[in-house]
Amino acid sequence: MLNKEVKGKLEKIVGQENLLDSQQDLIVYSYDATPDYQALPDAVIKPRHKEDVAEIVKVCNEYKVPIVPRGSATNLCAGTTPLEGGLVMLFNYMKDIIEIDEENLTVTVQPGVITLDMIKAVEEKGLFYPPDPSSMKISTIGGNINECSGGLRGLKYGVTRDYVIGIEFVMPDGSIVKTGGKLAKDVAGYDLTRLMVGSEGTLGIITEATLKLIPVPETKKTMLALYDSLEAAGNTVSKIISNRIIPATLEFLDQPTIQVVEDFANIGLPTEAGAILLIEQDGPEEVVERDIQRMAEICEETNALSVQIAQSPEEGEALTSARRSALSALARLKPTTILEDATVPRSKISEMVKAIEEIADKYNVKICTFGHAGDGNLHPTCMTDARNRDEMQRVEQAFEDIFAKAIDMGGTITGEHGVGVMKSPYLSWKVGEAGVEAMRAIKEAFDPNNIMNPGKVFAKDARKRVVVQR
């Protein structure tokens, strides 16, 4: 795909040292955090400036070379696996925090900036960027925008799309488009900013983003409630919300996950508990105290076995670690860990977890479930071994049943991981064939040569995990 002529043109743009095509480099960038998907690109390229990105895209569009924009590749939908070869584009050089504007409460960044680095930088100014994906220590803002990442604070504060107010991106023909800006209001034409958020790199390449900030909360407090059943925990969630309290964090772990997390983190969790709720509130001190006390009362009213309120920020962080360490703990059990997400109305959480348990038994696979109780986003996580193809087939059948069940309950196939390759066969279950065709028409209008991250969102055989050798 990269003949001598194309390679020469690309090297003129970025320099020979920034166009990598050794076998070692290709293998390194042939996969992301999604288990059991791998495909070798033809080369890896590292632009230094947006002008480089534009020139690279022009060459690729002319020669119909696919481009896969890649941040830290922490996504869990095979969204940055180069299934059709071409170029993997890295943003190692484009990772600056361009400006923190304290008057307009915005931050402007390049796509390669690490999420947590940016969060810390704005907090030093007394400002707050709420989206907190679990991968924030290594994920990039560009990747967060492409996947519309969520996080533990999504119930109260929303997700990435709620904070992106301006984007600069390169179109598939190499032209540069700038949308939005430091504006509280902007309804000039179609909302291209929102269209780009969650587009998974299929419409263009983000080169800069302006994000909304809010004042950092005055204080926060954390509590942990234990239950003998997930149903009781679900009743607590419903009652908290019906009392018009919106916590900053409202997370749950099921019983199998509690056991694994305690074995991993040794933080004193009672492994006999049927479920755990992690609850956090932030804001003015008097509001936090009022809400925490009322939520503690609700936990007791809904048959919590115990309620522990952190007495210091350090103790609060220790409690929060129970949720944040769930994936790391589960990943120790078997060689392959498949972390999925499906979302249902929060009133259906208990019913959905029971359904997941029944499906796991049906296919004889090990699935633990944790997630965001406040917004109904569940993370059924399967511990398996990709080398066992018979078991992998059963795992895939189990997840297909899980997605179908979520849809039956009025839910969706993905709350925050994106469609990518993993969920594309099920997209029509959620939006219908007409919805898929509408999305496809947008893709074709933007990218008639299909060079932007091809094979994602609309692929038909995504659950057939693939290893492509080139």
Query: What is the pLDDT confidence band of residue 463, given thresholds at 50, 70 and 90?
Result: very low
Q: What percent of the chain has pLDDT over 90?
A: 85
Residue 230: per-residue pLDDT: 86
- pLDDT by residue (tens digit) across 327-363? 888 888 899 999 999 999 988 988 999 999 999 999 9
Place of tokens 């009743």: 235
Q: Identify the band that residue 292 occupies on the pLDDT scale cut at 50, 70 and 90.
A: very high
| Residue 470 in this model has a pLDDT that exceeds 50 | no
Mean pLDDT, rounded, for 408-421? 95
The band of 460, judged by pLDDT with boundaries at 50, 70 and 90, is: low
pLDDT at residue 350, rounded to an integer: 87
pLDDT above 70 (res 258): yes
Percentage with pLDDT > 70 across the chain: 97
pTM: 0.94
What six digits make up the tokens of 442? 């947008």
What pLDDT shows up at residue 466?
Answer: 43
| C-alpha 129, offset from chain centre | 16
* Per-residue pLDDT reduced to its tens digit, 358-377: 999 999 999 999 999 999 99
Angle at Cα 235 formed by Cα 231 and Cα 239, nearest 5°? Answer: 170
Would the pLDDT of 124 be above 90? yes
pLDDT on residue 469: 41
Query: DSSP letter string over 59-72?
Result: HHHHHT--EEEESS
Please write the tens of the pLDDT for every residue from 266-289: 877 888 899 999 999 999 999 999
Averaged pLDDT, 187-207:
97
pLDDT band at residue 461, thresholds of 50, 70 and 90? low
Sort 187 into a burial class: Cβ within 10 Å, 0-12 / 13-18 / 19+: exposed
**Do the Cβ atoms of 104 and 98 come closer than 8 Å?**
no
Strand locations in 284-396 (E): 306-309, 336-339, 342-343, 366-372, 377-384
Q: Are the C-beta atoms of 299 and 236 separated by less than 8 Å?
A: yes
Sign of the C-alpha dihedral computed for residues 397, 398, 400 and 401 taken in this order: positive
Range in 106-115, 267-276, 362-371, 411-420 the model is least confident about = 267-276
Mean pLDDT, rounded, for 143-156? 95
Report pLDDT for 231: 87
pLDDT above 70 for 465: no
Question: Residues 198-208: pLDDT tens digits?
Answer: 999 999 999 99
In the three-class reduction of DSSP (H, G, I as helix; E, B as strand; rest coil), residue 118 is classed as: helix
Kindly report the average pLDDT of the chain as a whole number.
93
Which residue is it, tokens 């670690």?
Answer: 321
Mean pLDDT, range 220-237, rounded to an integer: 93
pLDDT value of residue 468 = 42
Domains parsed from the chain with CATH numbers: 4-90 (3.30.43.10), 97-215 (3.30.465.10), 219-329 (3.30.70.2190), 334-417 (3.30.70.2740)
The 3-state secondary structure of 5-32, one letter per residue: HHHHHHHHHHCHHHEECCHHHHHHCCCC
Residues 162-182: pLDDT tens digits? 999 999 999 999 999 999 999
